[in-house]
Amino acid sequence: MAGHKHPSYLKIYFILLVLFVVSVAGPEVAEIFGMEGVSRTILVLVTAFGIALWKAYLVCAYFMHLKFEKIYAPYILLACLSLLLVFFFGTATDAMFSNGHNWVKPYSEEAAAEEAKSRSHGGHDDHGDDHSGDHHEEGDHDGDAHHDGEDKDSH
């Protein structure tokens, strides 16, 4: 695609970096200000996933030159994305419910959450890169649980 004028790649890159910082900072801000419920969900959705879409657009349009490519290439990609949406919404009608005609999903979300908490060490972010020290002592009481049982999901 030598026929078109290249955009300023560095400019696009710095925009991508700023968006990346915002996407990481958004959920942290929600955590710091103790946001809960709908406001937290909206902030995380917008900063993490809304910005991910924006970043993907910038990479597609300018780094992959999709903006300057013949129209067939976007058609190929949009056709595949459409098929994906058919798959998603086609399966979601069943997958999003816990029962239907002649079937019930034998699954307890509360039990699964408890099980997940029992093997959780409080998150990597809490103990950063230091995986060798205190967390082992803290995790010893449940360490056996996730090694022995390997926590079969009940669904």
Partner 1 sequence: MAHEIIATGRSRTGIPTGRLAVWWVIGSEILIFGGLISCYLLNRFNHGPSWSVEAANTNTFIGACNTFWLLTSSLFVVFAHAASEKHDAKKTRIWIWLTILLGGFFMGFKTYEYTTEIQHGFTLFTSNFWSFYYTATGLHGFHVVCGMVIMGIIAENDIKHERNWHRVENIGLYWHFVDIIWIFLFPLMYIAK
For the bound state, the minimum distance from the C-beta of residue 38 to partner 1, rounded and expressed in Å, comes to 14
Residues engaged in binding partner 1 (CB under 8 A): 1-2, 6, 9-10, 13, 16-17, 20, 23-24, 26-27, 44, 48-49, 52, 55-56, 59-60, 63-64, 69-70, 72-73, 76-77, 79-81, 83-84, 87-88, 91-92, 95-96, 107, 109-110, 112-113, 115-117, 119-125, 128-129, 131, 135, 139, 143, 146-147, 150-151, 153
For the bound state, the minimum distance from the C-beta of residue 114 to partner 1, rounded and expressed in Å, comes to 8
∠ CA 28-30-34, nearest 5°, is 115
Query: In the numeric block, which tokens belong to residue 99?
Result: 């029962």
**Segment (H or E) for 78:** helix 72-95
DSSP 34: T
Closest CA to 151 of 97, 111, 98: 111
